[in-house]
């Protein structure tokens, strides 16, 4: 059994909280195990002016960490599952998906208590095309602008008046003790979350059997089934940051219920679908819901998104 483990992580306060959380759980599980953190800067953290959709997608947050795993500087990487590309390089694997925090989106504003209270023309900040599309579908009179940076930077931009409101993941706010900033939580029926939102994933080299054995107890079976179904929808539709796609699964007994959507960025066209299936085969359910989305116009929406601007 290994007696030392190195976790590579992004340097943001939230990423460090997540890594420290995994560190403390591993040390509690395995007596005598020493766990160290290796904070790193990723390309996604450095490109603060461009949106993820134009800068290269979710892989910008994980590539440098995977390099550290490959060259032996670290044993595991801790990610927010919503930032993990649906296709990992073949030499890597997700060793565990931990129990999910609140998966919902959160409305944050210093002046208004809910999205419905915002006046026409109010500026809403979000880093997500998925959130942008769902906001504009229901509130087309609002102005949605890109919002990049770590969580604290986004709140600073709100507080200095750059935005009337911002929409953020509730999980990050709660993990950093900032739940008091939340004015309202958006029901998934109003703002369907991103695949994997609220869950943490632990990545390592697939060949590191001793590492897999150490990390496996941190996995949560219910969360894993839900996230696998959500990611299967994303994978089937070629999911990346350029696609406004939401997917959210809930477990009831041995049955998964999965809801998903694909939207145009302006929210004028949205295909929605849902289905139920056995929790033992979440990928099959994800594929089924993806097919339903295609039957309801998802391919046409995706084709429009792929066209270059005139």
Residues with a catalytic annotation lie at 83
**Do residues 167 and 124 lie in contact, with contact meaning Cβ atoms separated by under 8 Å?**
yes
| Residues found in the chain | 310
| One-character DSSP codes across 185-199 | EEPTTTSPPPTTTT-
The phi, psi pair for 291, rounded to 5°, reads -65, -40
Q: What are 146's strand-pairing partners?
A: 126
How many Cβ atoms are within 10 Å of 278's Cβ, its own excluded?
A: 12
Q: What are 144's strand-pairing partners?
A: 124
Say how far apart CA 74 and CA 273 lie, in whole Å.
40
Closest CA to 15 of 55, 64, 71, 57: 64
Say how far apart CA 78 and CA 62 lie, in whole Å.
9
Tokens 């906001």 locate to 135
**Do residues 195 and 245 lie in contact, with contact meaning Cβ atoms separated by under 8 Å?**
yes
Six-digit token string for 193: 């979350």
End-to-end CA distance of the chain: 59
Closest CA to 131 of 269, 257, 263, 268: 263
């Amino acid at each position: 059994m290994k007696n030392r483990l190195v976790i590579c992580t992004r340097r943001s306060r939230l990423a460090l909280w997540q890594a420290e959380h995994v560190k403390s759980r591993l040390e509690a599980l395995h007596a005598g195990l020493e766990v160290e953190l290796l904070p790193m800067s990723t390309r996604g953290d450095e490109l603060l002016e461009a949106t993820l959709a134009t800068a290269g997608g979710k892989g910008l947050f994980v590539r440098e960490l995977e390099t550290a795993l490959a060259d032996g500087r670290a044993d595991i990487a801790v990610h927010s599952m919503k930032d993990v590309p649906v296709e990992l390089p073949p030499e890597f694997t997700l060793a565990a998906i931990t129990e999910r925090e609140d998966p919902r989106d959160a409305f944050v504003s210093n002046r208004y208590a809910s999205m419905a209270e915002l006046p026409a023309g109010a500026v809403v900040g979000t880093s997500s095309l998925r959130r942008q599309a769902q906001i504009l579908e229901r509130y087309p009179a609002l102005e949605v602008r890109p919002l990049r940076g770590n969580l604290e930077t986004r709140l600073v931009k709100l507080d200095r008046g750059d935005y009337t409101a911002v929409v953020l993941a509730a999980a990050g706010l709660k993990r950093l003790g900032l739940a008091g900033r939340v004015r309202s939580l958006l029901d998934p029926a109003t703002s369907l979350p991103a695949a994997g939102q609220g869950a943490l994933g632990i990545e390592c080299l697939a060949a590191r059997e001793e590492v897999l054995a150490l990390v496996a107890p941190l996995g949560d079976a219910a969360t894993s089934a839900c996230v696998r179904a959500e990611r299967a929808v994303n994978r089937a539709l070629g999911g990346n940051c350029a696609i406004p796609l939401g997917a959210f699964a809930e477990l009831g007994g041995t049955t998964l219920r999965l809801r998903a959507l694909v939207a145009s960025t302006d929210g004028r066209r949205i295909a929605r679908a849902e289905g139920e299936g056995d929790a033992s085969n979440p990928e099959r359910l994800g594929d089924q819901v993806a097919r339903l989305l295609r039957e309801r116009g998802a391919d046409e929406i995706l084709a429009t998104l792929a066209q270059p601007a005139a």
